[in-house]
Amino acid sequence: MILVVGCNGMLGQELMALYGDAARGVDVDQIDITDLLSVQRVLMTLKPRVVINAAAYTDVDGCESKAETAMQVNGEGVGFLAMLCRELGAKLVQVSTDYVFDGSKGAPYEEYDPPSPLSVYGESKLAGEMNAALAHDHLIVRTQWLYGHAGKNFVETMLKLATDRKELSVVDDQIGSPTWTYDLAQALKALIEKNCTGIYHAANSGFVSWNGFAKEIFRLAGVEVTVNAMSTEQLGRPAPRPLYSTLDCARLIQDTGFTPQPWQEALKRYLELRPNK
């Protein structure tokens, strides 16, 4: 049995739909991953063979002012899951992020490039990676710029803003790969089926700025909006962001045969399947 921790989140719901009856899901009302006894009770009762941790504190700017909470959820909580997985002999699959890198490499990041997070969020997710490794059988999958039908995300934010504004400013100096939760879930399934371990990168192929992403959202949705360029510095958010943090997914493709689709194709399909809002 596969246990999805954080089953009500954007990725968690995608995983539950993908695995169907083969998966069990728990969320904050059934498990507190920052409490060892809570984690122990759930895992020892269910005895899963695979635990996918899709739970995280993902408010990047909020992490700056709530560093202790970020570290408890994204770091220490993963350690508790790893301890119990080790005891059960289960595989722990930990979802991580491009924010463990500082974005200064100037080329797509490979799995064993040295991490150097800029933000509290990035630091807490790196702590989670280190703690995940406490499980003998562990799989750490870094992804980026996630969007999906089951949660708040950049695509929905842009489309909502466009309902009453005909001009927007979006940063054009952060480069990454927008990734649909559907494709990430497929990548995780492929990695698990091949019994892969260690660190992998999984994101839709190709890369773009947030500004270019916004323009493509509006183009595909048939919405007329002027998208102006602005810098990260002009935006002035509390947490620093990596400016170029695309992920090299060659190892995923080589070891599983699964090739993530281009981000433009994924976005097109996402919009086609999007419920009317």
Helix or strand (DSSP H, E) at 17: helix 10-19
CA distance 139 to 132: 8
Which one is catalytic: 121, 182, 200, 244?
121
Q: Is 57 a catalytic residue?
A: no
Which stretches within 34-119 are classed as H helix? Answer: 36-46, 60-65, 67-71, 77-88
Select from 76, 79, 80, 108 the least CA-distant residue to 207.
Answer: 108
CA angle (270, 252, 10) in 5-degree steps = 35
**How far lies 276's CA from each of 150, 159, 160, in Å?**
13, 12, 12
Assess contact for 5 and 28: CB atoms under 8 A: no
CA distance 171 to 62: 19
- For 127, the token pair is 């702590």
Q: Which residues are catalytic?
A: 121
